[in-house]
Amino acid sequence: MKRQPVLSVEDLSVSFRMYDTGLEQADLQVISNLTLDVCPGEIVAIAGSSGSGKSLLAHAVMGLLPGNASVTGKILYKGMLLSQKEKEKLRGKEIALVPQSVSYLDPLMTVGAQVTGRTPDEKTLKAQKEIFQRFHLKEGTEKLYPFQLSGGMARRILVSTAVLSNAQIILADEPTPGLDLEMAVEALKIFRELADEGKSVLLITHDIDLAFHIADRVAVFYAGTTVEIADAEDFQKGPKALRHPYSKALWEALPQNGFKPIPGFQPYAKDLPKGCLFSPRCPYKTEECEKEIPMTKVRGGYVRCIHAD
């Protein structure tokens, strides 16, 4: 059965207008031709390189990009094309963000009020108490201000905020750093429960070993585009089940899987290579790789590599 995606991103490109030398301006393309969707009841994990545009995607969906950004491509919510105005109307109600930085908390407001809103009803207060308990946040934590919290506590507050928002889609941008394993797993379990209730979760994370186990699908980002989208199961199985050389390299760099780094760096947005963005680091590079590489279907997943089989 083909389900209707609740959020779909089609051919999204984001670039920033920046000053180059003197008064000359140049466009810096940070996301190129990105396509992704998420269905009701589904968790899609986004893994990938630091600085590959994972957070920018979340910000583009929320309509939080700064003024010098230009966006092309489509972002659809329940099949409806979203304009900036509609994004502003939906955000916080239908689409909620767990921001990456703990500095997104209002420093002058108690964290309790930030989670429940200023005039919460009984039900919200009860829900807040429940989730704080699950996160091992002692009673009285809701009366504290952000500066009185440790990094991990602030992180749990941010997750609570999104959970209580009752939104259809949760964009969780790195919800687990600073949390010990037990708390990280608890946070992911909460996302899983929300998904099982029919909500959708986009989970941006570097804790990919945890994400592989709770997500339904995984999208791998590199240099501003998706290189592979596949079932999470394939990522649990390992390199043989994976399709793109970068996904395989990610798997093999995990401490428990050998801790082997591949050499080289993700290219800087100013001088992207032609064709395949991964080709400068790829052992299988051929001349063909310098042409435009489309996403193709291989073994039930999607991959942006002409050598995948």
Q: Does 239 bind another protein (CB under 8 A)?
A: no
Sole window of 81-89, 224-232, 248-256, 293-301 interacting with another protein (rule: CB under 8 A): 248-256
Compute the least distance from the CB of residue 177 to another protein, in Å: 4
Site string for another protein, 40-79 (x = CB under 8 A): -------xxxxxx---------------------------
Q: Does 151 bind another protein (CB under 8 A)?
A: yes
Q: Does 24 bind another protein (CB under 8 A)?
A: no
Q: Does 26 bind another protein (CB under 8 A)?
A: no
Q: Does 283 bind another protein (CB under 8 A)?
A: no
Q: What is the 3-state secondary structure (H, E, C) of the chain?
A: CCCCCCEEEEEEEEEEEEECCCCCEEEEEEEEEEEEEECCCCEEEEEECCCCCHHHHHHHHHCCCCCCEEEEEEEEECCEECCHHHHHHHECCCEEEECCCHHHCCCCCCHHHHHHCCCCCHHHHHHHHHHHHHCCCCCCHHHCCHHHCCHHHHHHHHHHHHHHCCCCEEEEECCCCCCCHHHHHHHHHHHHHHHHCCCEEEEECCCHHHHHHHCCEEEEEECCEEEEEEEHHHHHHCHHHCCCHHHHHHHHHCHHHCCCCCCCCCCCHHHCCCCCCCHHHCCCCCHHHHCCCCCEEECCEEECCCCCC
Q: Does 177 bind another protein (CB under 8 A)?
A: yes
Compute the least distance from the CB of residue 126 to another protein, in Å: 22
Q: Does 107 bind another protein (CB under 8 A)?
A: no
Q: Does 197 bind another protein (CB under 8 A)?
A: no
Sole window of 62-70, 121-129, 170-178, 190-198 interacting with another protein (rule: CB under 8 A): 170-178
CB 264 within 8 A of CB 279: no
Query: Count of residues binding another protein (CB under 8 A)?
Result: 44
Compute the least distance from the CB of residue 47 to another protein, in Å: 8
Sole window of 89-97, 121-129, 262-270, 272-280 interacting with another protein (rule: CB under 8 A): 262-270
By CB under 8 A, name the binding residues for another protein. 47-52, 136, 138, 140-141, 144, 148-153, 155, 174, 177-184, 206, 208-209, 249-250, 253-256, 259-263, 265-266, 268
